[in-house]
Amino acid sequence: MAAESLRPALAPSTKDENMPDMKELLRSLPSLPGPYVPFDTAQAPAQPEPLFAQWLQAAIDAGIREPHAMTLSTVDGDGCPDARVLILKNVDEHGWHFAISRASPKGRQISDSPQVALTFYWPALGRQVRIRGTAHDMGEQTSSADFLARPLGSRAGALLGRQSDVLESQQELEDGLARQLRRLEQQPDVLPDSWVVYAVRPREIEFWQGNEQRRHVRLRYRRAPGAAWCKERLWP
């Protein structure tokens, strides 16, 4: 059978006259305009945590909004990838922390497959950090402390336990939140059974510094046998 016959038929073009030419629009946007601070990998510490702290502080000092925002990537039961943006809660000897509901899609995906990835991107600095590792439950005490430290509205939303369910109406949401807020007034220390703090113990971390001439600098920390870190400079 000819190769052409194996290709799926293309649907007739239905371009909206009000929609811009996306290819030209995207080509017109600048990318990695710089200038950026050079990244001297020879000065990088032996472990990745101090370097991450330096880069995070640089993002804070540069006035980047939500510099602690990160993309959490998981896979579902069919092996299909999923991703969403969360807030980093802590970095310590256990790893990179985040808090979620076990009942959410991402919570169920992590329960099935704890191998995850985290991505930080600070465009004003031309910097990206990619982390691959395993998510570990930090336990009831850590999860409870995190939940009770959250704003009231955030706790009310988590107590609803309906994340990513189909919402029939805005009023349904407002009524549910109102019930949970009244519940919190009566029981300020109430905790949802599903709340959990995970720490991602990395096996690989890549620090990427963009360059205007595309001579990007990439430094990978790879966990070697015995829990030591191996540093490797990568091609752009």
- Does residue 2 lie within any of the structural domains? no
Residue 48 lies in domain: 39-149+193-234
The three-state secondary structure class of 189 is: coil
CATH number for 225: 2.30.110.10
> pLDDT at position 162, please?
81
Residue range 97-125: mean pLDDT, rounded: 97
| Domain count across the chain | 1
Helix, strand, coil content of the chain in percent (nearest 5): 30, 30, 40
> pLDDT at position 227, please?
74
- Does residue 209 lie within any of the structural domains? yes
- Does residue 3 lie within any of the structural domains? no
- Does residue 24 lie within any of the structural domains? no
- Does residue 202 lie within any of the structural domains? yes
What confidence tier does 141 reach under pLDDT thresholds 50, 70, 90?
very high
- Please say whether the beta carbons of 230 and 224 come within 8 A: yes
- Does residue 89 lie within any of the structural domains? yes
- The pLDDT tens digits of the residues spanning 29-76 come to 999 999 999 999 999 999 999 999 999 999 999 999 999 999 999 999
> pLDDT at position 83, please?
98
Residue range 195-215: mean pLDDT, rounded: 96
* pTM attached to this predicted model: 0.88
> pLDDT at position 1, please?
47
Residue range 107-132: mean pLDDT, rounded: 97
Question: Is 132 a residue of the active site?
Answer: no
- Does residue 8 lie within any of the structural domains? no
- The pLDDT tens digits of the residues spanning 121-134 come to 999 999 999 999 99
CA 97 from centre of chain = 11
Question: Over the chain, what is the mean pLDDT?
Answer: 92
Instruction: Name the catalytic one among 132, 214, 220, 233.
Output: 214
- Does residue 81 lie within any of the structural domains? yes
Written as six digits, the tokens of 196 are 């959990």
Alpha carbon dihedral 30, 215, 121, 28, in 10-degree steps, equals 10
- Please say whether the beta carbons of 137 and 201 come within 8 A: no
